[in-house]
Amino acid sequence: MTVETPRASQPDAPARRRATFNTLRVADVRRLTEDSVEVTFAVPEHLQDDFDYAPGQYVALRAEIEGQEVRRSYSICTEPVPGEIRVAIKRDIGGLFSTWANEQLKPGDTLEVMNPSGAFVSKTAITSMNSPESLAEDAVARRADARLVAFAAGSGITPIMAIARSVLQASEKASFDLVYANRSAADVMFAEEIGDLKDRYPSRFAVHHVLSREQRLNPLLTGRIDAEKLRSLLDHVLRTEETDEWFLCGPFELVQLVRDELASRGVPAEKVRFELFTTGRPDRPAGHQGRSVAADPEGKQVEIEFTLDGLTGQVSSPVSARETVLNAALRSRSDVPFACAGGVCGTCRAKVVSGEFEMEENYALEADELQAGYVLTCQTRPTSEKLVVDYDA
């Protein structure tokens, strides 16, 4: 792939800010289910602009666990509330950060929190950041009667909660259908909050709990969501034709299944937003920083030049190492932004100024960002002698 003349980003592309970490205090840790907690961070007044967000965005968290620096991303789970940020963390079996957060994190602790980022936001009903008043104005200006549908599974509910609450609050005409898949009723995160939404917006919010290991009265809502069940849901439960925007957040297979089915029904891709928490490749769990690279003074080198916070750095990388831009850049500066290192979160995004490259995985960048020359530096390797990227663009 070659990029010579980068084009401007589309006007509708959600703003992505340069990622920076700030230390925030944990104000509350609330147990949601046996396996998940909601963590509230207090955002001091002087940082409120930095922590503005659009519902659906996430933050990266950084902590020192068992002597190693660990970074993971977590979606914000509430409508924007000045002065706080809330995330929900579900324990992943064998997972380092999520187990630590579920077992040890407590009020008063401090964590490094990156400013919110991500493109899993409504383009139909919401554009504003941290201001309920302008949310309402924008919703009216855009599509006050927007009809939104979400498919969430497990912890995939987190960004959906923020979007649903904001959209329903912002416009009296907006409606939201949620299909929420879990193993059992005990695994349902935000059960109380979902119940509240049903009570508060009985004619505009509907939830369809699908439980894979528990019998429900309706067989359609029992078992895993497979192609057949999905088709029935789309045909008989959801108003598929009238839906303005779709939100999908859950395991790779479910997201892919719904995307494929919607595409086969002619739903335009721009109406379908999705967020992946993992790559769906167990051999490559996201969230693991790059490897160290053996020097190869005799072998061929490539040059990687990168600009970050207005400063330009250069680093050589042995061709034999096949290392990514992020891996190489981190050797020269430790503040190069990244979180998942797995092509899922988009934190390591930079614009290619010149040179040739290949990008392995991309679960984070949208088509307009790719067109504008952005890459995920954790997935990008130079294929020319020199590659120049700009993290500030």
Ligand X SMILES: Cc1cc2nc3c(=O)[nH]c(=O)nc-3n(C[C@H](O)[C@H](O)[C@H](O)COP(=O)(O)OP(=O)(O)OC[C@H]3O[C@@H](n4cnc5c(N)ncnc54)[C@H](O)[C@@H]3O)c2cc1C
Q: Which residues contact 216 (CB under 8 A, 6 or more apart)?
A: 209, 210, 222
* Subset of residues 352 to 371 that bind ligand FES, contact rule: CB under 6 A: 364
Of these, 75, 130, 169, 175, which contacts ligand X (CB under 6 A)? 75
Q: Which of 223, 285, 290, 313 binds ligand X (CB under 6 A)?
A: 285
345 contributes a contact to ligand FES by CB under 6 A: yes
Least distance (Å) between residue 317 CB and ligand X: 24
Question: What does the block give as tokens for 164?
Answer: 């649903």
Q: Supply the minimum distance, in Å, between the C-beta of residue 283 and ligand X.
A: 6
Q: Is 206 exposed, middle or buried (0-12, 13-18, 19+ CB in 10 A)?
A: middle
Element holding 228 (H helix, E strand): helix 227-232
Contact partner, 297, from ligand FES, ligand X, none, Cβ < 5-8 Å per class = none
Contacts of residue 174, defined as CB under 8 A and 6 or more positions apart, other chains included, come to: 125, 139, 143, 144, 145, 146, 147, 148, 167, 168, 204
Closest residue to ligand X: CB criterion: 95
Q: Is 113 in the site for ligand X (CB under 6 A)?
A: no
Q: How far is the CB of 328 from ligand FES (least distance, A)?
A: 14
Neighbouring residues of 235: CB distance < 8 A, sequence distance ≥ 6: none
* Minimum gap (Å) between residue 344 Cβ and ligand X: 4
Tokens of 92: 């992943």
Q: Cα–Cα distance between 136 and 260 in angstroms, integer? A: 33
Residue among 181 and 341 whose Cβ is closer to ligand FES: 341
Q: Is 129 in the site for ligand FES (CB under 6 A)?
A: no
Q: What is the DSSP string of 40-107?
A: EEE--GGGTTTT---TT-EEEEEEEETTEEEEEEEEB-SS--TTEEEEEEEPPTT-HHHHHHHHT--T
CA atoms within 13 A on the CB side of 192: 5
**Total residues at the site for ligand X (CB under 6 A)?**
30
Q: Could you tell me which stretch among 15-23, 35-43, 74-82, 332-340 binds ligand FES (CB under 6 A)?
A: 332-340
Exactly one of 202, 266, 268, 282 binds ligand X (CB under 6 A); that residue is 282
93 binds ligand X (CB under 6 A): yes
* Residues 230, 242: Cα–Cα separation, whole Å: 17
Which span sits near ligand FES by CB under 6 A: 82-90, 139-147, 303-311, 336-344?
A: 336-344
Per CB under 6 A, residues contacting ligand X are: 58, 72-75, 87-90, 92-99, 118, 155, 158, 275, 277-278, 282, 285-287, 340, 344-345
Per CB under 6 A, residues contacting ligand FES are: 338-341, 343-348, 364, 376, 378
